[in-house]
Amino acid sequence: MSGAVEERLRRALADQAETTTTSPGAWRRIQAGIEAGGRVRRRLPVQWLVLAPVAAVALVVVMLAVVLNGEGDRPLKVTGGTDGLYLVPTGVEPRFRLAEATDSAPFSPLPAWAYRAFGRRAAGGAVEASVVIIVPADRATAGTMPEPTPLRVLGRDVAVAGDSFGQRILSWTQADGTTVGVTTFGLSQQDLIAVAESLLRDDAATAVPALPTGFAPLGAGRKDGFPLATFQRWQADDGAMFSVIVDRDPGATVEELALWLPGSRAKKVRDTTAMYLGGQESYLTWVEQPGITVTVQASGLSEQEVAAMARGLRPIDDAAWAKLVARVAPTPIPPAAIGLPPDIGPPPGVVVPDPNAYFYIVPVRATLAPPCSLMRVGVILPETVAGREVACYQVIAPFLSAADVATAVAREDRTTGTWAVEYTLTPHGVDRMGDLFREVGAGGQFAILVDGRVVSAPRLEALPGSKGIVTGLDEATARSLAERLGR
């Protein structure tokens, strides 16, 4: 009997619950109640003003920073101290662990720097390619880019760092000891080198760079210098990672931040965050407080994860967001179209290596950071290790081939357990090698291709004679190469 009553009661209660209505002003009344209770959110700005003179700058940074304490999934918690300041996003899955955390000494001044930005706009108005010249270049090289690779331009060493969605940063030291940085986006390899060549002079700070057609000035400014307040890198076992970078950046605007990452899609995250996405890599950057910018750079994360991370941080102001969107992303640009100039083929005089040939020695013009697929100009040879691109070599003609080799023999290197092929060049080959060496200069780089793959890319300090060696092979490759070359 009571089973029947239970059932009827269940149904009657469910029906009755459906008749419940709510009045429209409910949340306002709750807020009013909260405020009347003495814990008033509106009081916060006043508190802020009272405290500001105590340590205005410290407060701004401290508000942003969160102590780590080994518990990454705690809600935002603020602290600071002699150990430095940390920022922990709350939206991050527990699979991430802190891999690296560095702080520059709080508020130690860097030299002031100036920048000039040039860009080319797509039909929709978004910046699709840009060149930003920075003197000195600390802003460009401060920890956000992978290890730079050296590039030899007009006999000088230029460091090149890049990311997977087309940003390339060049930097070098001037005669007066200052560093020049050039942040580029969407430039072809040729244009990149042309820009660098035109700026490799002592008046780089004011010189007009050799810009590709369609470029116009976007803006210029001056910064008084700031430290990188904190930098953290978080890593997951599946290789996904993200970095959180907090900069003290007086006078930074959302529009200015957009200059460093042009051509990308801007997205709204939470209320006010600017989100830039390009392929595997995502950037989020925003002005957190006047004078403070936050950047989240992630790779291998889904868009949702990056958005969740941003929600765990703090928002920027709505008006700034609206301005950013109006300027940066009138229409979304599909990722594939970002920063890829049309393939215009190799420059005149460059001979493309025959993919069917099994042995080449190729002089290298520049070594660049992967991915090589983003470099659409000239002949780019990728070097892969375990299927992953580790370097991209830009080739200059001409090159030596198997026809220039007289004899070859395979040998095991007992100290490393790898195999090598020692070869001697024909008299014609020796002459060719001399020509190539003169072209690239001492310290010049050559790539050695076996069966279409770059197996090594040594630098040559002195003119080699007729003898040479290919190292780092496995036994089968070494024996087969020696046999074919010795024929």
Partner 1 sequence: MEADAVIEEAERLESLRDRADGVAALYRREYLPMVRLAHLITGSNEVAEDVVQEAFVRMYKSWDRADQPAAYLRRIVVNGCNSWHRRRRLEREHLPRPVAEAVDPEARELLDALARLGLRQRTALVLRYYADMSEADVALALGCRPGTVKSLVHRGLRQLEGMIER
Q: Does 23 bind partner 1 (CB under 8 A)?
A: yes
Measured from the CB atom, the residue of 62 and 114 that comes closer to partner 1 is 62
CB 444 within 8 A of CB 460: yes
CB 253 within 8 A of CB 154: no
Measured from the CB atom, the residue of 41 and 414 that comes closer to partner 1 is 41
Q: Does 46 bind partner 1 (CB under 8 A)?
A: no
CB 247 within 8 A of CB 229: yes
Q: How far is the CB of 148 from partner 1 (least distance, A)?
A: 37
Q: Does 6 bind partner 1 (CB under 8 A)?
A: yes
Q: Does 74 bind partner 1 (CB under 8 A)?
A: no
- Spatial distance between the Cα atoms of 200 and 194, rounded to a whole number of angstroms: 10
Options 37, 334, 349, 355; binder of partner 1; rule CB under 8 A: 37
Greatest distance between any 2 Cα atoms in the chain: 109
Reference 113, options 231, 252, 276; nearest CA is: 252
Q: How far is the CB of 267 from partner 1 (least distance, A)?
A: 21
Options 26, 175, 336, 385; binder of partner 1; rule CB under 8 A: 26
Options 69, 79, 373, 384; binder of partner 1; rule CB under 8 A: 79
Q: Does 476 bind partner 1 (CB under 8 A)?
A: no
419 torsion bin: left (phi>0), alpha (psi -120 to 50), beta (else): beta
Contacts to partner 1 from residues 203-232, by CB under 8 A: none
| Dihedral pair phi/psi, residue 362, rounded to 5° | -120, 125
Q: Does 17 bind partner 1 (CB under 8 A)?
A: yes
Among 19-27, 168-176, 187-195, 468-476, which window interacts with partner 1 (CB under 8 A)?
19-27
Q: How far is the CB of 96 from partner 1 (least distance, A)?
A: 21
Measured from the CB atom, the residue of 59 and 114 that comes closer to partner 1 is 59
Can you list the alpha helix ranges (DSSP code H) found in 379-472? 427-440
Measured from the CB atom, the residue of 58 and 403 that comes closer to partner 1 is 58
Q: Does 13 bind partner 1 (CB under 8 A)?
A: yes
- How many other C-beta atoms lie within 10 A of the C-beta of residue 451? 14
CA dihedral 80, 291, 276, 303 (to 10 degrees): 30
Q: Does 33 bind partner 1 (CB under 8 A)?
A: yes
- Spatial distance between the Cα atoms of 303 and 319, rounded to a whole number of angstroms: 24
Q: How far is the CB of 272 from partner 1 (least distance, A)?
A: 15
CB 167 within 8 A of CB 130: no
Measured from the CB atom, the residue of 26 and 385 that comes closer to partner 1 is 26
- Spatial distance between the Cα atoms of 364 and 350, rounded to a whole number of angstroms: 12
Reference 149, options 138, 162, 167; nearest CA is: 162
Contact residues toward partner 1 (CB under 8 A) are 1-2, 5-6, 8-17, 19-23, 26-27, 29-30, 33-34, 37, 39, 41, 44, 47-48, 51, 54-55, 58-59, 62-63, 75-80
